[in-house]
Structure 1
Amino acid sequence: MDLISEVRQLAVIRTKEKVLEDINYYLGKQEELQPFRDYLYERGHYIDQIWMNVWLNKVSNDISRKEKKLYLKERNFEVDGAPRKYINHLFRTEMKSYDPFDVGSWLKETFLNQGNKWEERYVQAREEFLENQKKEQLEKEKQEVRSHLNESVISILEKENSKLYLYLRYELAKQIVKDLRTSKYRLVDEGHYGDKLISDSLFNENDYKNVEDFLYELTGSTEKTIYWEYERYFDKYNRMLEEILLDNISEKILNQLPVSLKEKFFNITNETLSCWHIYEILTEPLNNIQTVFMEKLKEEYIADLITLAAIPFDMVIHEEIYKLDLEKKEQRKKNEAEAIEREKVAEDRMLKDIFGREYSPSYLRNIQYVLHIGETNTGKTHHALEKMKRASSGLYLAPLRLLALEVYDKLNSEGIPCGLKTGEEEKEVEGTSHLSCTVEMFHEREFYEVIVIDEAQMITDKDRGFSWFKAITKANAKEVHIIGSLNSKDMVLELLGDAQVDVKEYRRDVPLEVEQKLFRMKHTVKGDALVCFSRKRVLETASLLENEGHSVSMVYGSMPPETRKKQMKRFINGEATVIVSTDAIGMGLNLPIRRIVFLENEKFDGTGRRRLTSQEVKQIAGRAGRKGIYNVGKVAFMTDIKVMTRLLEQVDEPVHTFTVAPTTAIFERFQRYSRDMGYFFHLWDKFESPKGTKKASLTEERELYTFVQNTEIEARLPLMELYGFLHLPFSTKEVVLIKQWRDTMEALVKGEELPEPQIKTGGLEELELSYKALGLHLLFLYRLGRVTEAIYWERLREEISDDVHEKLKTDVKKIRKKCKHCGRNLPFEFKYQICDSCHWTRKERRKYDFFDEFP
């Protein structure tokens, strides 16, 4: 027997079962027996349909696709490569006429001329029908009595609600008094070993105003929710409320239900109404009541509950006490609101007094301002510096220590004595009247014939922008030359108001040309600058190129400026044919670059990865095509040529806001009210900066403050001095440097010798970190005026920078892109930090760890 025949037999059996079910349903509804022929007449069409439905569904589901195709091929259908849906349709069509089962004939054989078989079927069907009707009626009556019971229970619950809350309030009050007499627990961070729970002291009831203030204290116990965690009083009291509700309310409600309802329930269900039935009804309403009660209890005053706990429960007495407590609560709320309003008025007055008009420009009207506006690599800085060099005295304000160092070297090499001041070093030159420094070193009281302020578009930087605002608006000079991008023009002119301003706009003599073919590493040639956005990627790229025969220079943010200078010099002198850099290359570094290549179109900005902005693309791409060396500057991308070209070519959005930061005058006024640095940060958050400005985030200052808050360091240092140390420009991402800063601060207030920076000279990373540690030490020395002592550490730092330079020359070839988990070598083009194997292993482990959290 073939498979289709077997399926047909099963379909016939199922069809007979369904037809007999239909007969039972038909006969059961009849009060008198109907003839068999009447059934055939009324149900004949439906009976035939039963077979077709059962058969087609059965054969379609039970026969495989392979068997279907074979059956159709035997009947000359072309089905190779045909879609599943088409094959199923053909097969079902063929099966409609396949050996149909004659249901009518089978019925006649079963019931016609078979004695009393039809009558017996009627008697059985009618009995089943009447029995089912009784059951349905009984179930209907049960539903009605349960519905009545539900309504009665909920009605009683609502009436008892206020009384129930008074009782719960009393029970909670007793428990709170008891818990306030126990030990207070707190968590101690044990580093890699996790948190440790220790007994700290006894609770002090005066520390808590409302119950909510107390709820999140630790009980000292642990509990398991999704995972093990320390229990809080909120969890404990929630369980307590649940237990009181379940233990008391069910029996109370049962006793208040009418006797007639209990009897009706018994007669219909044959069950005695019990607390368990009430509990089943109350499960959801009690959950809602518990939530509402807990919210009300949170608002209760601890002092009121302590008094209440000493008064034995009596509904009348406690109801009267609750009314009085509510009146007192309303009065307290009113008093608190008034106090808050008074504090707000006082704080608003304080904010106005402290910050006032601090950020209004205060430039001198007799200054000649020259605004040098234009694209990157157009000679803006060169023209401004030429004017400064000819002046009797001059000040250059740089965005980077490296640029300050470059101008310092340039002027001295041309016979113009120039000093250097960057915070990390101070170099005095005999007979100097010129100074090159970072913009943060600007001091408004010092007069110069010419001041040059570079990269003025940095005024929008959320952390450093205020230094540019201060320099532009408070420069004390005969001439002030301001250098910026095209989009900074309107902002600077607005700041300068009606002062005399000579605007000089610059255009590129060397045009930029975007290559329309995607760049690949094998396309690297002499004069290329490859740009990516992390130190790690710079080193990996340099290693790949070195191993392919290129001579490579490198530039990245954490590289010592002296090392960076040497790396750039190698490229300028032709010792290196290619340079690999981060976006540091876009800030004033003039190099003989033929082509800028973007290896990445995204960068991490401190919070997440994002696409480069139009201004960033222009700033970097503009370094291509050094005038006098190349007739055109080339730009290439590894991906998204159209998108990146659009960013390069679009018109700059003008800058409309600049960043403001705290000033000395602000701190002086603040000290009339408080000497608490934490409170100052609070007021800074409250202060609304003037229109067209945004506040500096002070993120790093706040982070450092957490290490000295409420310590001897904060207590013994004047406010302005403390802020000065919080504001020191060093990398707070390095744990070692934060510890060095904290240790130095502690030594400072104790009058002890400053701890020496930790120096390690092993690998490249250790050398760079040692350089930063020396830089931080020098920041302290110069801030404390210990210039002579700083000379030794400057010399040592210079040696470290030389070591970094040598390491880069010798070790870069050994660097490989590796999986940060297993250390396996990865292809250069591989876009992730971990290999596929580690990725999937970690994903599986996380999946199992997630399920392990559940009990």
Structure 2
Amino acid sequence: MPDLLLDRLAPIRAADAYDPDAVYSQFVEWTVARGLTLYPAQDEALIEIVSGANLILSTPTGTGKSLVAIGAHFAALAQGQRTFYTAPIKALVSEKFFALVDIFGAENVGMVTGDSSVNAEAPIICCTAEILANLALRHGTDAPVDQVVMDEFHFYSDPERGWAWQVPLLTLPGVQFILMSATLGDVDWLATDLSKRNSRETAVVTGVDRPVPLHYSYATTPVHETVEDLLATGQAPIYIVHFSQLAALERAQALTSVKIASREQRDAIADAIGEFRFTTNFGRTLSRLIRSGIGVHHAGMLPKYRRLVEQLAQQGLLKVICGTDTLGVGINVPIRTVLLTALTKFDGTKMRQLSAREFHQISGRAGRAGFDTAGTVIVQAPDHETENARLLSRAGDDPKKIKKIVRKRAPAGSVSWGEPSFARLVAAQPETLTSSMQMSHSMILNVIGRGGRPFDELRELIENNHEPRPRQRELARQ
């Protein structure tokens, strides 16, 4: 029989009062039974959680934040509480839902997204951040929530969606919060604010070394040559990062000219695919790519195609995956090497260089704990640098040929970047989180639907958030 973590609650619940030491001991025994050893940061985080403190956990990818979240849910159930896990994308919510079902049993875990609802009254709920934020707006302090685990909390700074990470902090003062991300920057201000709002101690666990170190390099060879070199030196699986879905698909199709998988590997992929049905034009393209050992992964794919790519990657069958920067959102795709095709992206308003947070969020996915001794992060030089390197290589050591080279420049009006930009990002710490609070009509309607004194509640939401005073006045005028 599986060792359900829930089974370990019986002796805890039989006691006359909640015993944090007993909760801690039972959870650690469960991890040991599964062959896991807690890192010091995990141990410290768990002790704070069972004691009832808020927790801000900012440790690198691969340091076991997911296990800390499981410990938090366990501690909540031990007290008969209702606990929510939130994530920024539905794919991650779904992934966590199935993982928690395996641990706590199907009857104890529910999932709520904009598309579906499963066991919505369960004591553990997996949902998107917006689902929880709207619940908090509708019910305020009466919301049926005792504990919240907010994964990928760096989305707090997202200009479009950050409000959903802030609203629960403002409107659920009785809740224990566990805020997790690999890239939070300085959070002392947040810890102080959180404790002031819910009268709990707030522990900050950060500054931990990665269990799998990263090696960084800059490539001036064309992408297909870089990929061939990585395959030849045993540095697969490789995730090639693009900043548009179309670019990811085009790259995958271009790489079919490279021998990615052997005959035996292609046969293994075909066996793993089995009777899976590729029912769309994109699906048929994906089928051809996958059978060559190349995956495609981005948020615009049908969930069934995205899950197939993830499952094949987890089985070690895909040597190369071409995707977008959704890789940085905690999706469980095992990667040894991250290859970034650019250090600029269009953010919906303008082209700009990646922030330190974005860069480290993506590059941190390289290196598989328990499999790799190191991860590799490579940034592909811009096209004009790659072309200049090719011309110099052809010229060899002949000074006359070198002198004749007309060096290419970055396209006029483009946002330029190069190896110095790369070096700065590698050395930089993630930026401090910045508030992105908004007030929309739907938010206002949710508060009004609460009844009571909605005008006072709205004024509190506008005047007592994390925005500076001028921005609060601007929100009030909207």
Q: Give the TM-score taking structure 1 as reference length.
A: 0.35
CA offset digits 1:114-169 (Å, max 9, x no partner) = xxxxxxxxxxxxxxxxxxxxxxxxxxxxxxxxxxxxxxxxxxxxxxxxxxxxxxxx
* Contact 1:472/1:482 (<8 A) preserved: no
- In structure 1, the residue matched to 2:375 is 633
1:651 to 426, 429, 447: 429
**2:93 pairs with 1:404:** yes
Per-residue deviation, residues 481-500 of structure 1 (Å, max 9, x unmatched): 11132316234224314431
Q: Helix, strand or coil for the counterpart of 2:187?
A: helix
SS of alignment partner, residue 502 of structure 1? strand
Residue matched to 1:500: 201
Query: What is the rounded CA distance, in whole Å, between the counterparts of 2:70 and 2:435 in structure 1?
Result: 27
Deviation at 1:406, TM superposition (A): 0.6
Shift of 1:529: 0.7
Q: Which amino acid aligns with 1:394?
A: T
Residue of structure 1 equivalent to 2:68:
383
* 1:691 equivalent in alignment to 2:468: yes
Separation (CA, whole Å) in 2 of partners of 1:607 and 1:632: 36
Q: Show the counterpart of 1:427.
A: 118
CA pair 667-628 structure 1, distance change in 2 beyond 3 A: closer
- The residue number in structure 2 matching 1:481 is 178
Give the partner amino acid of 1:664.
I
Decide whether the 8 Å contact of 2:294 with 2:322 is kept in 1.
Answer: yes
Distance, in Å, in 2 between the alignment partners of 1:696 and 1:622 is: 38
In structure 1, C-alpha distance between the alignment counterparts of 2:156 and 2:214, rounded to whole Å? 27
Q: Kindly, what percent of the aligned residue pairs are identical?
A: 24
Find the aligned partners of 1:533 and 1:416 in 2 and give their Cα distance: 38
**Per-residue deviation at 1:656?**
4.1
Cα 1:696/1:419, change in 2 over 3 Å: farther
**Cα distance, 1:436 vs structure 2:** 0.5
CA RMSD of superposed structures (Å)? 3.7
Secondary structure in structure 2 of the residue aligned to 1:420: strand
Trace 1:467-546 onto structure 2 (pairs within 5 A).
467-475=164-172, 479-484=176-181, 485-487=183-185, 489-498=187-196, 499-505=200-206, 506-520=208-222, 521-524=224-227, 525=231, 526-546=236-256
Within 5 Å, give how 1:279-298 maps onto structure 2: none
Instruction: Note if contact 2:85-2:125 (Cα within 8 Å) is conserved in structure 1.
Output: yes
1:604 maps to which residue? 346
Whole-Å Cα distance in 1 between the matches of residues 432 and 370 of structure 2? 31
Give the SS at the match of 2:376.
strand
Aligned-partner Cα distance in 2 for 1:527–1:667: 48
Partner of residue 53, structure 2: 368
- For the residues of structure 1 that align with 2:192 and 2:466, how far apart are their CA atoms? 17
Q: Does the 8 Å contact 1:376/1:622 carry over to 2?
A: yes
Does the Cα contact within 8 Å between 2:191 and 2:204 map onto a contact in 1? Answer: no
Give runs of aligned pairs for residues 245-324 of structure 1, distance below 5 A: none
CA distance in 2, matches of 1:668, 1:549: 60
Q: Distance in 2 between matches of 1:371 and 1:571?
A: 31
Q: Secondary structure at the match of 1:644?
A: helix
1:90-101 superposed matches below 5 A: none
Deviation of 1:372 after TM superposition, in Å, equals: 0.8
Task: Call closer, same or farther: CA 1:405–1:697 in 2, change over 3 Å.
Answer: farther
The aligned residue for residue 778 of structure 1 is none
- CA distance in 2 between counterparts of 1:697 and 1:609 reads 27
Shift of 1:611: 1.6
**Structure 2 vs 1, CA of residues 689 and 435 (structure 1 numbering), >3 Å: closer, same or farther?**
closer
* Residues 1:452 and 1:637: Cα distance change in structure 2 (over 3 Å): same
Asked if the contact 1:555–1:581 (Cα under 8 Å) also holds between the matched residues in 2, the reply is: yes
Tell me, in whole angstroms, the C-alpha distance in 2 between the residues paired with 1:519 and 1:387.
Answer: 47
- Following superposition, the deviation at residue 473 of structure 1 comes to 3.3
Paired position in structure 1 for 2:320: 578
Larger Rg: 1
Distance 1:617 1:402 in 2: 21
Identify the residue that residue 273 of structure 2 maps to in structure 1: none
Choose from 610, 614, 619 the match for 2:361: 619
Pairing 1:76-225 to 2, within 5 Å after superposition: none
The structure richer in helix per residue is 1
Matches of 2:331 and 2:195, distance apart in 1: 31
Instruction: Tell whether the 8 Å contact from 1:456 to 1:488 is kept in structure 2 after alignment.
Output: no
After TM superposition, the runs of 4+ consecutive aligned structure 1 residues lying more than 6 A away are 695-698
Could you tell me which residue of structure 1 aligns to residue 139 of structure 2?
A: none
Question: What are the Cα deviations for residues 624-678 of structure 1, in whole angstroms up to 9, with x where unaligned?
Answer: 0121111111111111233212212212332243423243379649x9xxxxxxx
SS in 1 for 2:185: helix
How far apart are residue 545 of structure 1 and its match?
2.0
Give the aligned residue type for 1:405: S
Q: Deviations over 1:36-73 (max 9, x none)?
A: xxxxxxxxxxxxxxxxxxxxxxxxxxxxxxxxxxxxxx
Partner of 1:705 in structure 2? none
For residue 167 of structure 2, give the secondary structure of its aligned residue in structure 1. Answer: helix
State whether residues 218 and 380 of structure 2, in contact with CA within 8 Å, keep that contact through their aligned partners in structure 1.
no
SS in 2 for 1:487: coil
Match among 156, 181, 186 for residue 459 of structure 1 = 156
Deviations 1:664-723 (A, max 9, x none): 379649x9xxxxxxxxxxxxx9xx99517857999xxx9xxxxxxxxxxxxxxxxxxxxx
Q: For the residues of structure 2 that align with 1:468 and 1:697, how far apart are their CA atoms?
A: 20
Cα distance in 2, alignment partners of residues 643 and 696 from structure 1: 37
Counterpart CA distance in 2 for 1:483 and 1:566 is 27
Q: Map 1:840-855; keep pairs closer than 5 Å.
A: none
Amino acid at match of 2:117: E
Rounded Cα–Cα distance in structure 2 between residues aligned with 1:633 and 1:522: 19
For residue 659 of structure 1, give the secondary structure of its aligned residue in structure 2: coil
TM-score (norm 2): 0.60
Give 5+ residue unaligned stretches, structure 2.
Answer: 1-50, 137-141, 261-292, 382-417, 452-461
Per the alignment, residue 47 of structure 1 pairs with none
Deviation per CA, 1:313-372: give whole Å up to 9, x if none: xxxxxxxxxxxxxxxxxxxxxxxxxxxxxxxxxxxxxxxxxxxxxxxxxxxxx9631111
Query: How many equivalent pairs are there?
Result: 325
1:594-646 deviations in Å (ceiling 9; x for gaps): 11101122111112222212111111001001211111111111112332122
Shift of 1:464: 1.2
Contact 1:529 1:580 in 2 (8 A): yes
Work out whether residues 422 and 438 of structure 1, in 8 Å CA contact, stay in contact via their aligned partners in 2: yes
Does residue 1:660 correspond to 2:426, yes or no?
no
Q: For the structure 1 residues 496 and 553, does the alpha-carbon distance in structure 2 shift closer, same or farther, using more than 3 Å as the test?
A: same
User: What CA deviation, in whole Å up to 9, does each residue of 1:376-396 have, x standing for no partner?
Assistant: 343223312333145424210
- The alpha-carbon deviation at position 581 of structure 1 amounts to 1.1
Change (3 A) 1:482 1:689: closer
Conservation of the 8 A alpha-carbon contact between 1:596 and 1:635: yes
Using a 3 Å threshold, how does the CA distance of structure 1 residues 658 and 507 change in structure 2: closer, same or farther? Answer: farther
* CA deviation profile, 1:246-293 (whole Å, cap 9, x unmatched): xxxxxxxxxxxxxxxxxxxxxxxxxxxxxxxxxxxxxxxxxxxxxxxx
